[in-house]
Amino acid sequence: MLQGRNILVVGMGRSGVSAARYALDQGARVTVTDGRADAPRIEGAQHTYGAHNRADFLGADLIVLSPGVPASAPNVRAAIDSGVAVVSELGFAAERVQDRGIPILAITGTNGKSSVTWYTSQLLEAAGRRVFVGGNFGTPLTDLLRSDQSADIAVVEVSSYQLERPGGLSPLAAVCLNLAPDHLARHGTLQNYAEHKLRIFEGMTAEGQAAIPSAVENNPDGLLSHGNTQAKRMWLDRHPGVVRDGNTVHLNGTKDDGPVDLSGLTLLGEHNRDNAAAAILLAVAAGLTRAQLDLRTLTALPHRLEPVHSEHGVTWVNDSKATNIDAALVGIGGIEGSKIVLLGGAGKAGSDYKRLRPALAHNTRKIICFGDAGRTIADAIAGNTVERVSTLSDAVAAASKAAEPEDIILLSPACASFDEFSNFEERGRAFASLAKEATP
């Protein structure tokens, strides 16, 4: 029960706003705090904006953290040390969604989690389920609590930030797709990053299914494990679990074991067949039979190997969501024909762009580097096919000039977008617009 309790919501992004409004709906006394002086105002709440007040933290009965706020922040740490309950917005919502009898399918991993979330929701909806899809993926889970629409199941993408304080999150089924260096500025080491990811399994019951990969490319040094979860231990690349062999997925240890044919998929890239396999495992864990799976319904998410324009025999593909090296490797490897690759943006700490060389050596006619990290990337992959320019617009113009019929021009940046754009979505939309204006 939240009525009459002192709730502090820290961070007024989309998830914080949703949590604050829900707590107010439930009769709580709500204080909201944000380092920004111009953060969104929440009617009925007390506001501490522009700076934080430790008294707000120590005086709360419950603190709800937005993903951008680390649990290691001094005020948050002081509250935890004083015995104040602290939970992420997703954990806050998950406990209440589960109390309503709505099961949760949870997806995490460094790369591919948005796509697997999207594919899983599409499979369930095609089979007639009423699905909420969100979490780290677009819509805060707390929005489900405030919605008039009911759902049979919630499919949620979960980030490592949200898993710092997962609360009572207890998915019906959960997967950690892979692990690669990312967010190390916050987590410090790859091992710490892995440990945060694996908190997705901690609250699961014996009725649940928890799946991880075993292959070293997705599970370096075996850092991903099932831990002490009570859930059934499954695998994404061996049995019990799911194994993909070309265009066939084999399920074992599930409620409906046997093969699933992927030949009808229209998604680009081998990695998307692996993503579809993970989505199939989750959908079957949620109660679908293999006969109910309609793989023809699966469509790509915007900004993830998304064809956005085709003219004069040249196809432009937007993979702006590839904000780190491993995601870019997947995108580059997913395009088999002759290609021109656009790399650049805001670099991330610890990025070793030399790792891109082998993938770029295959069917890549030209590489164009742009943005703040453009020079660093160009130096790391130095060669006669590399050109460096200043902006994404310049990169599109250079690609258009160099393009030949049958070429694919791929934006798979291997970088964040914050040097030139507010997020990867804005960058992807700009690329699509520029592509349509270009004249190869």
Q: How far apart are the first and last CA of the chain?
A: 61
| Active-site residue identified among 183, 192, 250, 423 | 183
CA proximity to 119, closest of 258, 301, 308, 256: 301
Task: Put the strands of the sheet holding 306-311 in their side by side order.
Answer: 306-311, 314-318, 408-411, 339-344, 364-370, 386-388
| Active-site residue identified among 52, 113, 232, 366 | 113
| Active-site residue identified among 136, 275, 318, 324 | 136
Asked about 136 being catalytic, the answer comes back as: yes
Asked about 183 being catalytic, the answer comes back as: yes
Q: Which residues are known catalytic residues?
A: 113, 136, 183
